[in-house]
Each structure stands twice: as C-alpha cells, then as structure tokens.
Amino acid sequence: MSKIEELADRVERLLLRHAELQRTNALLAQQVSVVTHERDNLRSRLNAARSRIDALLERLPTDAAATPVAGDDDDATRATP
C-alpha cells in the first residue's frame, strides 16, 4: 500500500470518528437539556413546597403550652383542689 493510500485511509477513519463524535456530542447536549429542564422543574416544586410549609408554620399557634395535645391526660397537668 502506498503512502497516499495509507494517508487516505487514515483521513477516512478520522472523518468517521469525527462524525461519530458529533453524534455523541449532540446526544449529550440533548441529555443535558433534559436534565436541566428536570432540575428546574424540581426546584420549582421544591420552592412551592417550601412556600406551603412556611404558610402552615405561620398558622401554628405561637404559644405551644396554650394548645392541648391530644391524649395528654397526665396528672401533672391537671389542677388539684
């Protein structure tokens, strides 16, 4: 095989490898896009959940002692005559 034929074979392999890498890069870019969208969606859901939790916390009474706990029949909490 002459030097020119060898060079032509190497160039052809290089072109095939380049095309393969371009396809791989396009697939990876698509995956990054999907994962980025998913991350943004999860962040949005997390922020919404945090807002709901904050709203629930605001509704809780500030004085925990004034609120009776269900099933709390401890003798120490009852007034004795």
pLDDT of residue 62: 87
Contacts of 61 (CB under 8 A, 6+ apart): 67
Q: How many CA atoms lie within 13 A of 43 on its CB side?
A: 6
**For residue 7, how far is the Cα from the chain centroid?**
49
Please name the residue ranges forming H helices in the chain. 3-59
Which residues constitute the domain of residue 7? 3-58
The tally of domains found in the chain comes to 1
Contact (Cβ atoms closer than 8 angstroms) between residue 61 and residue 67: yes
The answer as to whether 18 is a domain residue is yes
Residue 14, domain member (yes or no)? yes
Q: Round the CA-based radius of gyration of the chain to a whole number and report it.
A: 34
Low-confidence residues in the chain, pLDDT < 70: 64-81
What per-residue confidence (pLDDT) applies to 23? 98
